[in-house]
Chains A and B, each alone.
Chain A
Amino acid sequence: MLVVRAIQADDLDALYVMATQVGSGMTTLKPDMKMMGDRLAIAVASFAETIAPEKRDYMFVMEDTDTGRLAGVCAIKGAVGLNEPFYNYRIGTLVHSSREIDVFTRMETLYLSNDLTGSTELCSLFLHPDYRSANNGKLLSKSRFLFIAQFPHLFTEKLIAEMRGYQEENGRSPFYEGLGRHFFKMDFDHVDALTAVGKKSFIAELMPRQPLYVAYLPDDAQEVIGKVHTSTAPARRLLEQEGLYFEGYVDIFDAGPVLQARVSELRAMRDSVLAQVGNAAAPDAACATLPDPEPLLVSNTTLHDFRMILSQTAPVNGAVALSAAEQDALRCADGDAVRTLSLNSRKNPHV
């Protein structure tokens, strides 16, 4: 069984092994023992609530309980941009118009901004290729929404997720070649590596401070603004199903979109419910025609040992039946509260 759980201090080695399998472009998970150790320490302190909420970094790992192997990782940062500036381009519009000669020109612009400072960030999603099947990706990505729904007071009102931007098959980023290269005079991989070691804001010091007209960029750079990397497209769809949307902020290097949402408007906040572990009993007559249960995300409600699984059960009258193995995976027992959310958003919630 796959369990998504709060990371533990002794996960470091397994995490390192997994990080060696991430390609260029994933900026937050680099195989660097020192960096990972530091980050893990913060994550452990976050779940233990020994550091302030805005400094927290909740990391989750997906564990295969049959083998004890780590299958994936994801994280929620309490707040971004409070230690060093968090930069994005905001896509804006400037209208140049002259009544005198009847010219009206609408120009898209890129403004360097720190607008998203202080937002809670979903980040560091990685699923090992061996596990990229069935609902595993959804389980890993959406586990974070259940966590937020269970502990909304730990997060700021605004939630964001930076998506990896478009790259050609050979790794070339048209946006970087059209813009950043002129100002940094270094390769994208190099910039990417600096970003990974927390030097993104230093690099941003080299960016033009003034708004840029998109029309100055080469066509291939213009076309990829707000476009995700091909391999990131499924991840984007998952987040959009949960209530995140693109609102015109993009990465300063590869122009990948920043998705954002208000925490209170997430599907998980609206639709997840608490239920009691127990014998859900046979459905009564009124529900005799209950269809096959849909996959259901189920989590415990313990912050320091948060755990979540995917189950084929369905909550009935505030109770949910879980097998012994499932209860074991969630470290809960009969009578404990669990939080549940259907894995997929219902197409017709009112039916």
Chain B
Amino acid sequence: MYVVRPVELADIDALEALAAVPMPGVHTLPKTREKILAMIEGSIASFAAQVDIASEESYLLVLENLADGAIAGTAAIFAAAGSNGTYFSFRNDVIQQVSRDLNISHSVHALTLCSELTGYSQLSSFYVGEREQGTAEAALLSRARLMFAVLAPHRFSDRFFVPLAGVTDTDGGSPFWDALGRKFFQMDFLDAERVIGGARNRTLIVELMPHYPVYVPLLPGDAQAAMGQIHPSGELAFNLLTAEGFEADDYIDIFDGGPILQAHKNSLRTFTGALQRRATVAPELRDRGREPPVRYAISSGAEHNFRAVIADCAALEAQVTVALPAEVLDTLNIADGDTVICVRI
């Protein structure tokens, strides 16, 4: 069995090993032990914080294989993007060009530097090991962040977004960057990402990036083709998130043109489909011969006691309790009668 839980100090070695997997242009985890430690400490402090208004908290979850205690993946959620500044992105605009006298009307696609995503809660740092790619556990890890937001809504915004890495070639070059950012930054894509530390909230973005709309038809073909395209490593995340209810067409990343998925919580399945139920210990074999079990992600805890697991049980729509094996209750760190939320996977 796997469990998703808040990161702990003891996880640092495992995270350092995960971060060592080389993936140019993809920013999941910081590369140095020092920074990883800072991220873990930040997460622990965030889970412990008494939050009135979402701000700089960042929560890091890990997927642990209980069979061997290995960390199989990570996923993070920032309470409010761009805190300490502004979160910059390109908004996809359609500009209508109309001449009544010539009876001509057509639309032009333009990118506008904007800060609209500032204050949204941001999902990031999603990574699962090769063994767990495409499994229900990967889906659990991705969704656990939103389940935590369901359990602790005061810690988050009503809107969420997820930037996914854009297309880069084998040398780490980005066609979108070459057509746009390079002209202003005068440096290679990877150098720019290194300089800025993967952040999108720095003042230097305003100083260097274009303030006026970028007319897409003026960009070279390969740059246009890269807009909104995901890096192959992001496919799993993209599929999970679009199935969740995230939409991909409104914003793209200012550096590599990768898609930024965003949604209001009311259009996310985890929020609309979460069922709050009292957990009971399932009597052994009781379900035999009845309707086939349904697979649920089940979680509880609005602080560092947050846990999420997968469990099969009878459909819950018509029930007030959820019957779970004792070991699941143990893993969730709850007792018989405690409240959990359940979402179909």
A and B: interacting chains: yes
Chain B residues near A107 (CB-CB < 8 A): 183-184
Question: Separation in Å of the B112 CB from the closest CB of chain A?
Answer: 9
Chain B residues near A184 (CB-CB < 8 A): 104
Chain B residues near A213 (CB-CB < 8 A): 183, 210, 212
The answer to whether A202 and B99 touch across the interface, beta carbons within 8 angstroms, is: yes
Chain A residue at minimum C-beta to C-beta distance from B103: A202
Q: Scan B200-220; emit 1 where CB is below 8 A from any A CB, else 0.
A: 001110011110111101110
Interface of B is mostly: mixed
Q: Scan B102-117; emit 1 where CB is below 8 A from any A CB, else 0.
A: 1010101010000000
The answer to whether A202 and B101 touch across the interface, beta carbons within 8 angstroms, is: yes
Q: Scan A168-204; emit 1 where CB is below 8 A from any B CB, else 0.
A: 0000000000110011110000000010000100110
Question: Separation in Å of the A149 CB from the closest CB of chain B?
Answer: 39
Chain A residues near B170 (CB-CB < 8 A): none
In the bound complex, what is the Cα–Cα distance between A179 and B183 (angstroms)? 18
Question: Separation in Å of the B222 CB from the closest CB of chain A?
Answer: 14
Q: Scan B173-189; emit 1 where CB is below 8 A from any A CB, else 0.
A: 00000000001111100
The answer to whether B215 and A208 touch across the interface, beta carbons within 8 angstroms, is: yes
Cβ contact of B101, chosen from A105, A199, A211, cutoff 8 A: A199
The answer to whether B184 and A199 touch across the interface, beta carbons within 8 angstroms, is: no
The answer to whether A96 and B208 touch across the interface, beta carbons within 8 angstroms, is: yes
B84 within 8 A of A: no
In the bound complex, what is the Cα–Cα distance between A324 and B282 (angstroms)? 125
In the bound complex, what is the Cα–Cα distance between A207 and B203 (angstroms)? 31
**Which residues of chain A from 36 to 94 have a CB within 8 Å of any chain B CB?**
none
**Which residues of chain B from 89 to 147 have a CB within 8 Å of any chain A CB?**
95, 97-99, 101-102, 104, 106, 108, 110
**Which residues of chain A from 279 to 296 have a CB within 8 Å of any chain B CB?**
none
Chain B residue at minimum C-beta to C-beta distance from A210: B212
The answer to whether A208 and B213 touch across the interface, beta carbons within 8 angstroms, is: yes
The answer to whether A182 and B204 touch across the interface, beta carbons within 8 angstroms, is: no
Chain A residue at minimum C-beta to C-beta distance from B209: A96
Chain B residues near A100 (CB-CB < 8 A): 202-204, 207
In the bound complex, what is the Cα–Cα distance between A105 and B108 (angstroms)? 27
The answer to whether B218 and A101 touch across the interface, beta carbons within 8 angstroms, is: no
B195 within 8 A of A: yes
Question: Separation in Å of the B255 CB from the closest CB of chain A?
Answer: 14
The answer to whether A211 and B207 touch across the interface, beta carbons within 8 angstroms, is: no
The answer to whether A206 and B184 touch across the interface, beta carbons within 8 angstroms, is: no
B residues lining the A interface (CB < 8 Å): 95, 97-99, 101-102, 104, 106, 108, 110, 183-187, 195-196, 202-204, 207-210, 212-215, 217-219
